[in-house]
Amino acid sequence: MSTPQVMKKEYNMHLDFSLPLGKAYTKWMQALKEKKILGNTCGKCGRIFVPAKPFCEICFEEPREWVELDGRGIVESFTVCFEKFRNCPDPPYVVGIIRIGDAATCMTHFIGGLAYQRPEEIPGQIRIGMAVEPVWAEDRTGDPLDIAYFRPVK
Amino acid sequence: MEKKAAVIGIGYTTYCSNRKETRSKADLAYEAVRNALDMVGLSIGDIDASVYTSVDGFEATVRPARMLEAFGQGLNIPLVDVNTGGSAGGSGFKEAVHMIEAGLHDIVLLYGAPTFNNVVDNQQVLNTASPPVFEKPFGIGAVHMGAFYAARYMREHGIEEYDYARVASKNHRAAVKNPHAHLRHGFSPEEVLESPMVTWPIRLYECCPTSSGAVAMILASGGRAKELCDTPVWVRAISSIADTFLSGFKVYRDFDKLKILAKKVYEKAGIRNPLKDFDVAELFNPFAPFELMEYDALGFCEEGKSVSLLRDGVTEIDGELPVNMSGGVVCTNSGISSAVNRHAEIALQLMGKAEGRQVKSPEVGLAHSWGGNMGQFHTLAVLTL
């Protein structure tokens, strides 16, 4: 019987977690169920956070005032993924860094609703600074994925 | 005990593709530490403390504390684990320096582990570094994060795909001369541009490979450093900076945090004109475009003019400030090891032991590392003869 020079052993880690979201994130997620994008505002510096934050990291204060935004945003940056990675969506897919309204923060989300024949055409369909709006998922559970994706505003 | 800290020893393993790796984590640690000790003529019993670096959750195998005995655990010495994502190597170096400067230890071993050398799909693992719920579901790994920066930087400064290919090629050409580099193909800009698009605007040959290999460094206090080494490399200034975990605070325009860190470190080190004052630099560039953003943030050029440094050959081996003559992270990325490598490379350059990649008589060098979700952390170290 021949012995391999070195052996390799395969293993994996299927681990489950349950993440408490706290009050601010919970309120923000619950609003998504109702197709609303909320932000909360720091009483000291006035910055609006979308997604909402439990505290302003600069002033170290709890943002107490909540505002509802119309959901429109602009693309601050983006990428188009052409490769298949495990546990990640099938390519091509577009992920954008999206600033909702006048928020001081951005959301990471999918960009969709693009017209293209070949995947190589996708980067040309998106522009940094482009206006986008949310397309809501049918089934909403209080999760960022209640927004199916953002699409260019026509 | 003199409070100044110096690098006196460097030990590398060879680097290869993680798929081709046959050595265990313990083999790699032993080889790197053995080589570092041999360079200085020390034995493991001479080490006063060890620093190792890890990233939580990455395959559980980067917890050397659990499984490796190459750091002198059997010798009743302190062991410190430093974790700041990919920059943990820079933070670990900083920890080792502080241990010595505080007068706690005379001889400290720093180990740069191969973080993800046993993965099946690296982006799958890197995706676990993203904030769960808010960002992880969007299928982003490090290569996507890199692309957010590369896309925005292009747009801000009118940079073209060819410029990114050119900076990648500079690294690939340099790696040919580095026996410790993983990819040594010497790709031309044209070959880079022909490689497949991974995450627009980043192409395959502008991305680091998943490498396997490790590095160890030995640092010593002033008196011992002079005794043990003819060319100790002194740490003149070192610091780090942190940003928030959620990436939403960033617009990816540039490396703004690195700019702030550079100002602080330069002040401590007495650096007034970085382009003139540094003789060699190793900058963390897992994606080739990062190198250009780093020229900007580190004040090597006027803001947005990084491409002109490249065009004028300023950062080539015979230029005013050679950058990444090792081939950089873009040619060799063994996880945390690659952050330690930046420091190891600068130390070797200043010692005059960088072999085929040696820059002519450098006296002051800069080592940088980057890591964490979307680049939360940067570290900078100014090393001198």
**Mind listing the pLDDT tens digit of every residue in chain B (385 residues)?**
456 999 999 999 999 999 999 998 889 999 999 999 999 999 999 999 999 887 766 655 556 566 567 777 777 788 888 888 888 999 999 999 999 999 999 999 999 988 888 888 887 888 877 788 888 889 888 899 999 999 999 999 999 999 999 999 999 999 999 999 999 999 999 999 999 999 999 999 999 999 999 999 999 999 999 999 999 999 999 999 988 766 666 778 889 999 999 999 999 999 999 999 999 999 999 999 999 999 999 999 999 999 999 999 999 999 999 999 999 999 999 988 999 999 999 999 999 999 999 999 999 999 999 988 777 899 999 999 9
Other CB atoms within 10 Å distance of the CB of residue B60: 13
| Whole-prediction pTM | 0.95
Interchain CB distance below 8 Å, A108 and B132: no
Report the C-alpha gap between B16 and A109 in whole angstroms. Answer: 35
- CB of B200 within 8 Å of a chain A CB? The answer is yes
Helix (H) or strand (E) holding B12: strand B5-12
Shortest distance between the Cα of A107 and any Cα of chain B, in A, equals 6
Q: What angle do CA A23, A25, A26 make, to 5 degrees?
A: 60
- Work out the average pLDDT over A58-82: 96
Identify the sign of the CA torsion B293, B296, B300, B304: positive
Pairing of strands B280-282, B364-371: parallel
Residues B21 and B135 in one domain: no
Residues B112 and B255 in one domain: no
Residues B51 and B139 in one domain: no
Residues B143 and B220 in one domain: no
Residues B295 and B202 in one domain: yes
What pLDDT does residue A12 have? Answer: 81
Residues B198 and B289 in one domain: yes
What pLDDT does residue B290 have? Answer: 97
Torsion of CA A98, A101, A104, A105, to 10 degrees: -30
Number of continuous H segments (helices) and E segments (strands) in chain B: 14, 13
Other CB atoms within 10 Å distance of the CB of residue B180: 21
Which of B112, B136, B134 has the alpha carbon at shortest distance from B125?
B136
Query: Which residues of chain A are within 8 Å of residue B147 when distances are taken between CB atoms?
Result: 79
Please say which residue of B201, B232, B263 terminates a domain.
B232
Please say which residue of B174, B201, B232 terminates a domain.
B232
Query: Which residues of chain B are within 8 Å of residue A128 when distances are taken between CB atoms?
Result: 151-152, 155
Interchain CB distance below 8 Å, A97 and B148: yes
Q: Is the pLDDT of residue A46 over 80?
A: yes
Residues of the domain holding B130:
122-209+234-384
What pLDDT does residue B59 have? Answer: 56
- CB of A122 within 8 Å of a chain B CB? The answer is yes
- CB of B250 within 8 Å of a chain A CB? The answer is yes
Interchain CB distance below 8 Å, B124 and A86: yes
Q: What angle do CA B259, B263, B266 make, to 5 degrees?
A: 125
Residues 27-46 of A with CB under 8 A from B: none
Residues B181 and B81 in one domain: no
**Chain centre distance of CA B206:** 16
- CB of B74 within 8 Å of a chain A CB? The answer is no
In the numeric block, the tokens 């004052």 are attached to B277
Around B298, how many Cα atoms within 13 Å sit in the side-chain half-sphere? 31
Report the C-alpha gap between B317 and B254 in whole angstroms. Answer: 26
Among candidates A50, A82, A95 on the partner chain, residue whose Cβ is nearest the Cβ of B197: A82
Report the C-alpha gap between B80 and B93 in whole angstroms. Answer: 11
Residues B111 and B131 in one domain: no
Shortest distance between the Cα of A79 and any Cα of chain B, in A, equals 5
Q: Which CATH number belongs to the domain containing residue B196 in this structure?
A: 3.40.47.10
Residues B41 and B55 in one domain: yes
Residues B150 and B284 in one domain: yes
Report the C-alpha gap between A112 and A135 in whole angstroms. Answer: 9
- CB of A121 within 8 Å of a chain B CB? The answer is no
Q: Is the pLDDT of residue A15 over 90?
A: no
Report the C-alpha gap between B87 and B240 in whole angstroms. Answer: 9
Interchain CB distance below 8 Å, B138 and A95: yes
Interchain CB distance below 8 Å, B151 and A93: no
Query: Which residues of chain B are within 8 Å of residue A80 when distances are taken between CB atoms?
Result: 197, 199-200
What pLDDT does residue B244 have? Answer: 76
What pLDDT does residue B1 have? Answer: 46
Closest A-chain CA to B131: A108
Other CB atoms within 10 Å distance of the CB of residue B14: 14
Contact B171, B324 (CB under 8 A): yes
Tokens of A61: 């204060």
Residues B318 and B359 in one domain: yes
Query: Which residues of chain A are within 8 Å of residue B246 when distances are taken between CB atoms?
Result: 51, 105
What pLDDT does residue A1 have? Answer: 58
State the burial class of residue A136 (Cβ atoms within 10 Å of its Cβ: 0-12, 13-18, 19+): middle
Structural domain total, chain B: 2
State the burial class of residue A12 (Cβ atoms within 10 Å of its Cβ: 0-12, 13-18, 19+): exposed
Tokens of B68: 């490796």
What pLDDT does residue A151 have? Answer: 98
Tokens of B97: 């320096």
Report the C-alpha gap between A26 and A39 in whole angstroms. Answer: 12
Query: Which residues of chain A are within 8 Å of residue B248 when distances are taken between CB atoms?
Result: 50-51, 97, 105-108
DSSP A50: S
Shortest distance between the Cα of A154 and any Cα of chain B, in A, equals 22
Mean pLDDT (chain A, rounded): 93
Number of continuous H segments (helices) and E segments (strands) in chain A: 2, 8
Please say which residue of B232, B263, B279 terminates a domain.
B232
Interchain CB distance below 8 Å, B248 and A108: yes
- CB of B148 within 8 Å of a chain A CB? The answer is yes
In the numeric block, the tokens 């482009």 are attached to A130
Residues B218 and B141 in one domain: no
